[in-house]
Amino acid sequence: LAKTTQPISMDSYEGQEVNITCSHNNIATNDYITWYQQFPSQGPRFIIQGYKTKVTNEVASLFIPADRKSSTLSLPRVSLSDTAVYYCLVGGNQAGTALIFGKGTTLSVSS
Amino acid sequence: DGGITQSPKYLFRKEGQNVTLSCEQNLNHDAMYWYRQDPGQGLRLIYYSQIVNDFQKGDIAEGYSVSREKKESFPLTVTSAQKNPTAFYLCASSIGDRGRLGYGYTFGSGTRLTVV
């Protein structure tokens, strides 16, 4: 699995857009980029996954530049309930492989 | 609804005692995993199993044991050999034979173990 680097923490206010960037310089050709969200005392949950360009769903958008050495998770108009830890994972088409989680980015949203 | 169930949610253990954490899934997933999380830290892999009757050690397997006798169940035993067992334990499952890494993984709600 490719090594990833993301900020330890970020602060925001309700209604703002939050962008969390993850660096993955050693990403391989068949690697996907996946983001998970974890609330306190709960298990992580899948947010979004992408390979290149842009992916959007009802929760977030994922922007991936052409060189794929980084990616940005974008949360539109955050609310207090978006306060959580966000993890960036990079890996290939290896179903059944254990996910490796770093410390993630702790997002704190204030009113 | 399909899902993954961990029990109990909170568990207290005296030093020197073994304790077993339950993990059951009805998603028909082939692969199952156990993670440990300490305050302010990421998840660390303890054991994982890609198929019934087979499992592999993760990064921090010492002091833990598992079994995978049924597809639906993957219990974790924290033995007295585990020097610092107080932590939040998470179980997960995933499709074993298809899918992209990170997609289709489901986590339980965790068990918080405290040694007293």
Give the pLDDT confidence of A45-74 residue by residue, as tens digits. Answer: 999 999 999 999 999 999 999 999 999 999
d(CA A38, CA A90): 17
Longest Cα–Cα distance of chain A, Å, equals: 41
Q: Using DSSP, how many helices (H) and how many strands (E) does chain B show?
A: 0, 11
Chain B residues in contact with A93 by the CB 8 A cut-off are 99-101
What proportion of chain A, given as a percentage, has pLDDT over 90? Answer: 74
Q: Do B35 and A101 touch (CB under 8 A)?
A: yes
Residue B1 pLDDT > 70: no
Q: Rounded to an integer, what is the distance from CA B36 to the centroid of its chain?
A: 8
Which is more confident, A103 or A37?
A37
Calculated CA dihedral for residues B4, B9, B14, B18, nearest 10 degrees: -10
Chain B residues in contact with A36 by the CB 8 A cut-off are 102
Which pLDDT score is estimated for B99?
A: 54
Q: Do B97 and A99 touch (CB under 8 A)?
A: no
What is the length of chain B?
116
Q: Do A103 and B96 touch (CB under 8 A)?
A: no
Q: Which residue has the tokens 């993954």?
A: B4
**Mutation for testing the A interface, residue in B43, B45, B57 having most A CBs under 10 Å:** B43
Give Cβ neighbours of residue B105 (< 8 Å, ≥ 6 apart): A46, A99, B92, B93, B94
pLDDT digits (tens, 9 = 90+) for A8-26: 999 999 999 999 999 999 8
Which pLDDT score is estimated for B12?
A: 93
Confidence of residue B107 (pLDDT cuts 50, 70, 90): very high
Among B30, B45, B103, select the one facing A98 at the smallest CB separation: B45
Give Cβ neighbours of residue A87 (< 8 Å, ≥ 6 apart): A35, A36, A37, A38, A44, A101, A102, A104, A105, B42
**Nearest-CA distance from B108 to chain A in Å?**
6
Section A27-54 average pLDDT = 91
- In contact, A4 and A23? CB cutoff 8 Å: yes
Report how many Cβ contacts below 8 Å link chain A to chain B: 84
Q: Rounded to an integer, what is the distance from CA B96 to the centroid of its chain?
A: 16
A98 at interface of B, judged by CB pairs closer than 8 A: yes
Q: Using DSSP, how many helices (H) and how many strands (E) does chain A show?
A: 0, 9
Q: Do A99 and B30 touch (CB under 8 A)?
A: no
Q: Do A100 and B45 touch (CB under 8 A)?
A: yes
Nearest Cα neighbor of A22 from A76, A77, A100, A74 is A74
Which pLDDT score is estimated for B69?
A: 97
d(CA B30, CA B97): 8
Residue A106 pLDDT > 80: yes
The secondary structure of residue A44, as a DSSP letter, is -
Q: Do B101 and A46 touch (CB under 8 A)?
A: no
